Every structure is written in C-alpha cells, then in structure tokens.
Structure 1
Amino acid sequence: MIKSLRVRLMLAGATLAVLFMLGLLPALQSAFSLALREAIEQRLASDVTTLISAARVENGQLQMPALLPDEQFNLPDSRLLGYIYNRQGELVWRSRATTEAHINYTPRYDGKGNEFTHFREPGGEEYFVYDVEVKLLGGQSAAFSIVALQPVREYKLTVTGLREKLYLGFGAALLALLVLLWIGMTWGLRALRQLSLELDDIESGALESLSESHPRELLRLTGSLNRLLRSEREQRGRYRDSLGDLAHSLKTPLAVLQGVSETIAQRPENIEQARILQSQIERMSQQIGYQLQRASLRKSGLVRHQVELRPLLDSLCNTLDKVYRDKRVKVTLNVPVLAQVPMEQGALLEMLGNLLENAYRLCLGEVKVSLVLHEQGGGEICIEDDGPGVPHSQRARILKRGERLDRQNPGQGIGLAVVKDIIESYDAQLTLDDSVLGGAAFHVRLRPA
C-alpha cells in the first residue's frame, strides 16, 4: 500500500492525464483525417473545374487542349489523374499521367451531379475519386462524366506520419504535465509539510501549539489539534494538582497515626499492636507514593521527549554512592556521552532510580550500565550487578506489586512495579536475565519515538 500522499495524488493525476490523452488522441486523429479528406475533396473539385473550363465541344466532339492550365495534368509522372467519359461510359480523354496507370473505373452517370468517393483496384491500389456529370460545355449540350483521381496511399502516409507525431507530441506533453503536476503538488503540499514540522516541534517541546498561518482548508484541523493540546495540558495540570492535594491532605492524618502508634508503643503490653500499626502506616505511605508516581509519570499523548541518558546516570550514581558508601560499589557506564532516550525526564529518572537502587542494594561490589542504540530507532538499556541474582522461578513474581525477594531490608516491594508501569506506558519491554557479572540483568527495550 502506498503511504505517501504525494505519490498517491501523483498516480491519480497521471492516470487521469493518460486516460484523457488516450481519449483525445483518437478524436484528434479522426478530426485531422476528416479535415484532410475534405481538403482532398476540395482539391479534386478544383481540378475537375479546371478540366471543365478547358473542355470544348465542336461538331459534337470533345476537344481538349494539349496543355492544361493545371500543370499536374501535363506531367507524365503526376499523381493527379484526369479522365473524361461519355454518357455510354466510354473513355474519351485521359491526362498524360494516366499513360502508365491502368485504372478500371466506370463512371456513375446517374443524374446526381457530382460525387466524391474512393474505390479499390483489383491489384489493391486505392484512389479518391471526384466525379462530376456535365450536361453543358461551352454553352452546347453535352453529356460527359469528368473525373479526377488521386491515390489514397499519400493520404494514408500523411495520417500515419501525423499519428507518429501525435504519439511523440503527446508523450512529451504527458512528461511535461507530470513534471508540472509534481511541482504543483510539491508546492500545494508545503502546507502539510509545514504542519508536520510544527507537530515535530510540539512533540519535542519547542512549541506549545500550532500556528494559524495555514490554508483555510487546514484551519479546522489545526484548531482541533490546538484544542486537544490545551485540553491535555489542562487535564494533566489538574491531575497533578489533585494528586498534590491528595498527598498533602493524607500527610497530616498519617502523621497523627504515627504519633499515636509511638504513644501506644510506650506501654510494654501494646508493643505488638504498635508495631503492627506502624507497619500498616508505612505501607499506606508507600502505597500512596506508588499510586502518585504511577499516575504522574504517564507518557504524554502528543509530546515526544528526548533526554540525554549519561547526565542522569552520573547524577543517580553519585547519589547512590553516598547512600551505599560502605560498599564502595564499582560502577561501569557503557553509555555514549550524547545518547538520548525517548522518555520524559521524570519517568526516566524514576525508572533508573529504582533499578539502580536495587542493583546497589543487592550487588557485592560491581554494577554495570550499558546502552545499545538500534539503527531503526529506540534502543536497549541494561543494568547488571554481581549479586545473588534472581532464580528463574521467581522472576515473574518479583515484577508484581508488593512482591519482594529481599526480606532483610524495609520496603513494600513496589519499586519494580513502578518501573514496570512506566515502561508499559511507553510501549517498552522489561525483561530479567542472568548477568555476566554473576547477578541479575534488567533489560529495558525502548521503541522508537
């Protein structure tokens, strides 16, 4: 299927042009052929008039001069033939050019006056014939059929030559028309090209809305897109404000419950109940944080982001080096300096933060981060460690919300679930494999932007 609008329009225009020319060509040939036949008829009628004006009747006998006013009748090799027949159909005169021609023509003396037709000789030669019946010559009564003939082959050669010229001319005209169509469509589609460029700028964040300097046929489309963009921005803003308000409104009740649990814990008999209460408060806090992150880090529908990966990794590793300074983790970054990832910065920071924090926490002393870019777009981020790894039977389970293999450190097991939600919102894929370092290897396969 052809996906280019310009090519589709070009093919449609070329098809219509070819069909039009194919329909016009026979019409032109027919018109030219008819005009040529009319010209031959007029020429033969004029030649017959020349014969009539030169003919004389003396004592009932036809007299013709030795040289006629039209020199074509006087030349032996002329293609113009002249004959005169009496009423009985007997040949009484012939022009010099007919001495080598053997034409078996019988005039039709039927009172019609004149007739233009053509006939075929038994040998295959065809002639145009103009036959005029004459009853008076020089004021005297006469009954003759004066005939002028011309071979049809010249007419056919002329028509064939015209057809060839028409084919060449129409081919050149079609080629010129296609070039003009391509130029015209390129010019006409500049508006769509400009619209596409503006959409690219919107996706990259350089513009917030489409301009109004487009043809009126596109203004409705650009207006709808601008309304969609405004609606999306307003909705995302309201969503974030609502999430912030929710987090703020829940902060105070959770703090009160935390204080109550600490008061309860002061009594020895209530230590167990206080521990359960504090555990549930912590779980509520983490779940609220998880839901806030999950809702706020969704991919934007129209805006396309490109974020440099190396600066984010440097910042995260510096922070985690301070948190896990006792481990002295060796980090290897196989990431090009200017490599970009098609994700929003906040989502990318949250995803990498969770994956790197897991790698730092579970590794023995070495973490490796690499990026492989694909030629068709997108790429693959791999975060590896030299820790205990993840058994095959447990890999699907730990990606579920609330599931953890590490029970020695606090937490509710929502970090990888947040990572999975972010990755799925960008149509990417998260897989877990064994690392060459000996631990786990998390692969994030990103689709082209």
Structure 2
Amino acid sequence: MIRSLRLRLMLAAASLALLFMLGLLPALQKAFSLALQESIEQRLASDVTTLISAARVEHGQLQMPAQLPDERFNLANTGLLGYIFDRQGNLVWRSRATTTQNINYLPRYDGTGNEFARIRQNNGEEFFVYDVEVKLLGGKSAAFSIVALQPVREYQHTLDGLREKLYLGFGAALLALMVLLWAGLTWGLRSLRRLSVELDEVESGARDGLSREHPRELLRLTGSLNRLLHSEREQRQRYRDSLDDLAHSLKTPLAVLQGVGENLGQGNGEREQARVLQSQIERMSQQIDYQLQRASLRKSGLVRHRVAVRPLLVSLCSTLDKVYRDKRVSVSLVIPERAQLPMEEGALLELLGNLLENAYRLCLGQVRVSLVDEPGARVLCVEDDGPGIPVSLRERILQRGERLDRQHPGQGIGLAVVKDIIDSFDAQLSLGDSPLGGAAFRIVFRVD
C-alpha cells in the first residue's frame, strides 16, 4: 500500500497523462497519415496535369514529346510512374521510369473524372494511383485515362519517421510533465507539511494549538483540531479538579473516623470493632489513592511527550539509596545518555518509582535498569537479584491489592498502578527471570 500522498497523486497524474497520450497518439498518427496522403494526392494530380499539358492528338492518335517538362518522367528509377490508357483500357503510352516496373493496373473509364486510390501488386508492393479521365486534348475530342503512380514505401518510410519522432516527443513530454508535476505537488503540499510540523509540536508540548496560517481548505480541519485540544485540556482539568475535590472532601471524614477508631480501640470490649473499623477505613483510603493515581496518570489524546530517562533514574536511585542505606544496594544503569521514552514525566516517575522501590526492597544487593532499542520498539527492563516471582503468581501480583511481601507495610497498589500506566501508553509489560537471579520486569514501548 502506498502511504505517501504525493506519490499517490504523482502516480494518478502519470496514469492519466499516459492514458491521454496513448489515446492521442493514434489520433495524431491518423491525422498525419491523412495529411500525408492528401499531399501525395495533390502532387500526383500535379504530375497528371503535366502529362495532360504535354499530350497532343493528331489524326486521332496520341502524341507525346520525347522529353517531358518534369524530369522525373524522363529518368528511370525515380519512383514516378506515368501511364496513358485509351477508352478500351489499352496502354498507349508509358513514361521512361516505368521500364523497370510491371504494374498490373486497369483503369475504369466510367465518367467519374478522377480517382485517387491505393493498389497492391501480386508481389506485395503497393502504389498510390491518381487516375484522370480526359475527353479533350489540345481542343480535340479524345478519350483517355492518364495515370500517375507513386510507391507507397516512401509514404510508409515518412510515416514511420513521424511515428518515431512522436514516440520520442511524447516520452520527453511525459518526463517533463512528471518533473513539473513533482515540483507542483511539492509546492502544493507544503501546507500539509507545515501542518504536520505543527502537529508534531503539539504532540511534543511545544505549542498549545494549531495556527491559522494555512490554506482555506485546511482551516476547518485545524479549527476542529484546536477545539478538540481545548476541550480535551478543559475536560482533563475538570476531571482532576473534581477528583482532588473528592479526595479532599473524603480524607477529612476518614481522618475523623480513624481517630474515633483509635479511641474505641482503647477499650477492651470494643477492640475488635475498632480493628474492623480501621481496616475498612484503610481500604477506603487505598481505593481513593489508587483511583487518584489512575486518573492523574492517563495520557493526553493528541499530545505525545518525550522524557529523558537517565536523569529520572539517577534522582530516584539517589532517594532510594538513602531509604535503604543499610542494604548498600548496587545499582547498574545501562541507559544511553540521551535516551527518551514517550510518556509524561509524572507517569514515568511513578512507574520507575514503584518498580525500583520493589527492586530495592526485595533484592539481596544488586539492581539493574537497562534500556535497549529493538526493531520498532524500545525496551525498558528492571531486574534484581532477589527471590524472584513464581510463574503461577505473576499475573496475580499485577492485580490491585495483591502483595507477596507481607513483611513490609503497604497497600498493594504499586504494581497495579504500574500496569495501568503501561496500558494507558499502549506499552506491554511482561514478567520473567533475571540473569541476576531475581525478577525481571520488561516493558516494551512501540516507537513510530
């Protein structure tokens, strides 16, 4: 499938031009052929007139001079043949050029005056014939057919030359037309290229919307895209504001309930009820935090962000080194200096933060983060030398609230948030075994 609009237009224009020329070529050849035949007819009529002007009738007999005014009748092998027949079709005179020719032609003296025709001999050779019926010669009554013939091969040779020149001319014209079309399409599609550049800038966050410096035909499209961008930003902001308001309005009652639960827990008889109450409050708080993280980390529809990976990793590792300073974790970053990922910075920070925190917490002393390019993809991998994850539990730990590590506090939503972030950016997450001995989280991002 051809995906280039300019190439499609070029092929369509070239096809139409070629079809037009293929249709025009036979018409031009026919026109040239008719014009050439008309020229031959006029020339043969002139030759016949020369014969008529030279002929005389004396005592009922045709008399022709030894030398005719047109030298082509007097010389052999000139290609111009002259014959005179009487009314009964008997040959009464022939030009000197006919001595080497044996023409099988019988005139029709039928009162039509003159006739231009094309005849074929038994040997396959063809001739143009111009036959004129004469009733008066030199003012005396006579009845003769005066005929001039010319071989068709000269006409065919001329026609073949014209046809060859037509082919060459049409080929050159088609090539020139393609060059002009390519230049014209390049100039005409500059507006689309400029629109594409602006869309790239919108996707990268360099501009908020599309300009109005486009042709009239594109203004409706750019206007619709600008309205879509504006509506998307407003809806996204309203969504976040609503969630922030909801979280704020719920956290205060939850804090009050938690305080009430702690007060209830001071009494022996109500300790069990207080534990149940605090458990439900913790579940509600977990649900609020999870939904807030999911909503805030959804990517925008039209905007594509690019975030440098290495600076974020260095910052996260520096923070986690302080949190887990007693472990003395050795971190290996196999990340190119200018490597980027197509994500929002906040989403990437949340994703890497959850994965690295799990790796630091579960490793024995080694963590490795790598980023490599594969055909059509960019692969981020976070590995550790910890106990690993059994195959039967790898799907389970990605579900909200599921935790394999019960020795450390937590709500079990970290990996679920990671999975949501990865899904929202059309990436793929897979769990496997690391050469270091522990788990390997492999994330594949598609690269356009």
Taking structure 1 as the reference length, what is the TM-score of the superposition?
A: 0.96
| 1:45-444 → structure 2 map (5 Å cutoff) | 45-376=45-376, 378-444=377-443
Q: Which runs of 5+ in 1 are unaligned?
A: none
User: How far apart, in 1, do the equivalents of 2:105 and 2:336 lie?
Assistant: 97
- Once the two structures are TM-superposed, the CA of residue 375 in structure 1 deviates from its matched residue by 4.5
Most deviating of 31-40 and 431-440: 431-440
Task: Please state how far the C-alpha of 1:123 moved relative to its aligned partner.
Answer: 2.5
The C-alpha deviation readout for 1:92-147, integer Å capped at 9, x for no partner, is: 22222122222232221111111111222223222111111111112111111111
Q: How many residues align?
A: 448
- Tell me the SS of whatever aligns to 1:410: coil
Pairwise CA distance, 1:436: 2.4
* 1:262 positional shift: 2.5
SS at match of 2:147: strand
Q: Which amino acid is 1:266 matched to?
A: Q
Partner secondary structure for residue 355 of structure 2:
helix
CA distance in 1, matches of 2:256, 2:166: 96
Tell me the alpha carbon deviations over residues 365-423 of structure 1, each in whole angstroms, 9 at most, x when there is no partner.
322222222253x3222212222222222222111111111112222211110111111
Give per-residue Cα distances to partners, 1:267-294, cap 9 Å, x unaligned: 3333333233223222221220110001
Tell me how far 1:444 sits from its aligned partner. Answer: 1.5
Per-residue deviation at 1:34? Answer: 0.7
**For residue 315 of structure 1, what is the amino acid of its counterpart?**
S
* Mapped partners of 1:219, 1:244: distance in 2: 37
* 1:34 aligns to 2:34 (yes or no): yes
Q: Distance in 1 between matches of 2:302 and 2:38?
A: 70
Which sections of structure 2, spanning at least 5 residues, go unmatched? none
Paired with 2:36 and 2:248, the residues of 1 have a C-alpha distance of 96
Taking the aligned partners of 1:115 and 1:439, their CA distance within structure 2 comes to 105
Distance 1:431 1:123, change over 3 A: closer
Identity %: 77
Taking the aligned partners of 1:362 and 1:408, their CA distance within structure 2 comes to 11
* Residue range with higher mean Cα deviation, 138-147 or 254-263: 254-263
The whole-number CA distance in structure 1 between the counterparts of 2:369 and 2:120 is 95
- Is the alpha carbon distance of 1:76 and 1:393 closer, same or farther for their aligned partners in structure 2, counting shifts above 3 Å? closer
| Distance across 1 between alignment mates of 2:102 and 2:330 | 113
Amino acid at match of 1:326: D
1:288-328 alpha-carbon deviations (Å, 9 max, x no partner): 01100011101211111110111111111121122222222
| Cα distance in 2 for residues equivalent to 1:209 and 1:295 | 24
How far off its partner does 1:3 sit?
1.9
Q: What letter corresponds to residue 430 of structure 2 in structure 1?
A: T
- 257-266 or 133-142: bigger deviation: 257-266
In 2, the alpha carbon distance for the partners of 1:35 and 1:92 equals: 33
TM-score by length of 2: 0.96
Counterpart of 1:446 in structure 2 is: 445
* Over 6 Å off, 4+ runs: none
SS at match of 1:119: strand
CA RMSD of aligned residues (A): 1.6
Distance 1:332 1:121, change over 3 A: closer
Q: CA deviation at 1:266?
A: 3.0
Q: 1:7-46 to 2 correspondence within 5 Å?
A: 7-46=7-46
- Give the C-alpha shift of residue 361 in structure 1: 1.6
